[in-house]
Amino acid sequence: MRIGSGTATVPADAFTMAIQVRSYEVGRDGRIGLGSVLRYLEHLATEASTARGFDWRWYEAHGSAWVVRDMRLRLGTLPGIGERLELVTWLSSWGRVQAYREYAVWTPVSGHLLARGQARWAYVDRVRGTPLRLHDELMVRFGVPGYPMRAETLPVVAVPSSEDAVAQTLDLTARVYEADINQHINTTVYADWLSEGLAAALTPGGRWQARAAHITYARPALPGDTIRVETSRAPHGSRSLLVAQRITGAASGAEHVRATSLYLR
């Protein structure tokens, strides 16, 4: 299927859902941010699993859960309040303890592609967090039609000691309300922290929109943890900004998240 100015090949049996952007989801620029995009995709994946017969009760009964280990996104101009969106998801491949899930988001009126994504989900023991072998019935019911997102690598941000790169740190405390049913900080919250870290590193009043992102999740943070967001940035052409970030424990230095992103002015 071609969607507007972008392309996304959508399998016939992919799961589709419609949503409308709500007022409390947009930021000061009137558009949703990276965190809202990831919340849409997490909800979409949950609904797709439920539609196949695997709701939260099934996973709880089997002592298992899905957790995101890696997320890649390509983004267009993100929507504002009231805009109606179509979201679609499907599996492109799977292994013994993980699966790759694809995503596409577009506006149904114009057919304009807003986001294309791919996540590597790990199947784990919901208490210990250790990998579990996928149940055969999961893959039988989900199906694996393929059509993965084209692999792309963002350029490397210049080292912070160079004239063009800037390093900034931001410390914050992980809150109880940011934790999810698995008792640790929800993966979508890290995108909020990354955005906050970038905002602290930029000149106030500047408007930058994310165009691509690659986020890798190393270990979960817990409510009460003191978190440090490290941000390095460097110009990329005349209108773009390359950003490299890490989220670590402020005291331990243990890495929770590593991210690279491209922003357009």
Q: Is residue 160 part of a domain?
A: no
Is the pLDDT at 22 greater than 90, yes or no?
yes
Whether residues 127 and 197 fall in one domain: no
Name the β-bridge partners of 70: 120, 216
CATH number, domain containing residue 198: 3.10.129.10
Q: Is residue 187 part of a domain?
A: yes
Whether residues 93 and 211 fall in one domain: no
Q: Which residues contact 241 (CB under 8 A, 6 or more apart)?
A: 208, 233, 234, 235, 262, 263, 264, 265
Q: What's the pLDDT tens digit per position in 224-246?
A: 999 999 999 988 888 899 999 99
Domain that includes residue 239, residue range: 166-264
Report yes or no on whether pTM surpasses 0.85.
yes
Query: Domain tally for the chain?
Result: 2
Q: Is residue 147 part of a domain?
A: no
Whether residues 109 and 67 fall in one domain: yes
Whether residues 87 and 185 fall in one domain: no
Averaged pLDDT, 41-55: 96
Q: What's the pLDDT tens digit per position in 81-139?
A: 999 999 999 999 999 999 999 999 999 988 889 999 999 999 999 988 899 999 888 88
pLDDT of amino acid 2? 44
Whether residues 115 and 176 fall in one domain: no
What CA–CA distance (Å, rounded) separates 44 from 124?
Answer: 20
